Amino acid sequence: MSQAPQEHDRLKGQEESSQQGQEQQRRLRNSVGRMLLDHYFRLACIGIACISVVVLVFLIGSIITQGVPSLSWTLLSGTPEPEPSEAGAWPAIAGTIWVCTICALITLPIGIGTAVLIEEFKPRSRWANRIFSVIQLNISNLAGVPSVVYGILGLTAFVSMFGLVGSLKRGESSFEIGAIYYDQFTNLASDPFMSMGVEDAKERYFLAPVISPSDPPTVAKSGMEMFEYQGDQKIPVKIEVLDPFGELPSDPDALSLAIAADTVPGRISEKSWYYFSLPFGRGVLAGSLTLMLVILPVIIISSQEALRSVPSSLRDGARGLGATPWQVVWNITLPAAAPGILTGSILAMSRAIGETAPILIIAGIVYIRNAPQHLMDSYTVLPLQIYNWTSRPQEEFHAIAAAGIVVLLIILLSFNAIAVILRQRMQNKVR
């Protein structure tokens, strides 16, 4: 009778040990499978990374091989020309430096300040937290908006200022400083241009009789002093307004100082480096502000992540020593987060330098022969100039476009090198 329970217990133990062995084998097989899967996934990642690097090296190598022989002083200092041997990219290079520098000076303080406000000075009230949550959600969504949408927004907000400022149809500004206007006239001998200074930019000098009785302009009459341009010099002269159908003077000197009474003047301007107007128009400042909209969400998000990576013990220690919230941010948090902030800024500025769609919408023109002279001046950038050259059928222009890409890469690496140097210095100071 006692052997039956013992036999039952023995069989039960064998069954349990068999189940344990099967469970161990199953776990071992699963462990081996996971290790193999991890190994294959790692190999796949390494292979994809190697393929990406090989493709990148191939592209950069082909561009350098084709572009370096076309690099020349003419390309760096010349203006766009119809002949490939005479074509240059100086207006585009200067426009790129202008736009990216102003964009960085405006965007970095705003983006970093916004990140500090959201992360370090977030209010504790329920409604304020909800508002900040909505702002955070919008910032995250704006980071994925196509750049062409920002171009349309910049065209409406900065170029025309929603049509609320200035008279866009007449091309006038409601406010401007740093500009002097002249009305130009051609003499009867059709030799030089003569011009008369305009006190009010919205008025024009016309020769008698008045052309528009409903809106009488200032009338230029015989004996008024004007300026004759001889090179860069303006020489004051006295002019005579004559009837072109009447008897004209036979003296060539008198004829050169005479203007027909029905002449319509042209408007020229002299603008200083500090020229500013409202609305901004299609100038450098409008393009910089539009690129600011493109990269601002990226800088805000990267700055937030950098601020979150700072250990809270640093903040607590500073507060324990009696530091105010602003002293904690300025002396502790920002220096510790500076390397991460600059890394995000490098990526954002790299995107801004290569943007084409918003600049094309704002600038509206590709062929410009002069570099920008002030913030309101017309401009173009290297990506647009490269696109213009690549669209030409001649192979010579394609080689020049490759050289332009090399110059663009040099500008990009220069901006990045400055940011990397600053990041390393700040990181060493924090350490």
Can you give the pLDDT at residue 292?
A: 93
Query: Angle at CA 228, nearest 5°, toward 244 and 256?
Result: 35
Helix (H) or strand (E) holding 36: helix 3-67
Q: pLDDT tens track of the chain, all 431 residues?
A: 455 666 656 666 666 666 666 677 777 677 777 788 888 889 999 999 999 999 989 988 888 888 888 888 888 888 888 888 888 889 989 998 999 899 999 999 999 999 999 888 877 778 878 888 888 888 888 888 888 899 999 988 888 887 765 544 445 667 888 888 888 877 777 766 667 777 777 777 776 655 555 555 677 677 777 777 666 677 787 778 877 777 777 777 777 778 877 777 788 888 888 899 888 888 899 999 999 999 999 999 999 999 998 888 888 888 888 888 889 999 889 888 888 888 888 888 888 888 888 888 887 666 788 889 889 988 988 888 888 888 888 888 888 999 999 988 888 888 778 877 877 777 666 55
Residues 188 and 288 in one domain: no
- CB-based contact 226:197 (threshold 8 Å): no
Can you give the pLDDT at residue 167?
A: 47
Residues 232 and 355 in one domain: no
Q: Is residue 170 situated within a structural domain?
A: no
> What pTM was estimated for this model as a whole?
0.77
Residues 193 and 257 in one domain: yes
Q: Containing domain of residue 161, as a range? A: 73-165+281-430
Please state whether beta strands 233-238 and 225-230 pair in parallel, antiparallel, or not at all (unpaired): antiparallel
Last-in-domain residue among 225, 249, 275: 275
Last-in-domain residue among 68, 84, 111: 68
Q: How far apart are CA 281 and CA 1, in angstroms?
A: 107
Residues 52 and 98 in one domain: no
Residues 327 and 252 in one domain: no
Residues 187 and 135 in one domain: no
> Torsion angle, CA of 157/159/165/168, rounded to 10 degrees?
-130
Q: Is residue 321 situated within a structural domain?
A: yes
Residues 87 and 47 in one domain: no
Residues 251 and 191 in one domain: yes
Q: How far apart are CA 41 and CA 69, in angstroms?
A: 42
Residues 329 and 291 in one domain: yes
Residues 406 and 267 in one domain: no
Last-in-domain residue among 260, 275, 290: 275
- CB-based contact 74:390 (threshold 8 Å): no
Q: Is residue 197 situated within a structural domain?
A: yes
Can you give the pLDDT at residue 168?
A: 44
Q: Is residue 131 situated within a structural domain?
A: yes
Can you give the pLDDT at residue 34?
A: 79
Residues 13 and 50 in one domain: yes
CATH of the domain at 306: 1.10.3720.10
Q: How far apart are CA 317 and CA 220, in angstroms?
A: 76
- CB-based contact 323:288 (threshold 8 Å): no
Would you call the peptide bond into 209 cis, given omega within 30 degrees of 0 as the criterion? yes
Residue 185 corresponds to which tokens in the numbers above? 């006239």
Q: How many domains does the chain have?
A: 3
Can you give the pLDDT at residue 116?
A: 92
Q: Is residue 36 situated within a structural domain?
A: yes
Count CB neighbours of 377 within 10 A.
20
Residues 339 and 424 in one domain: yes
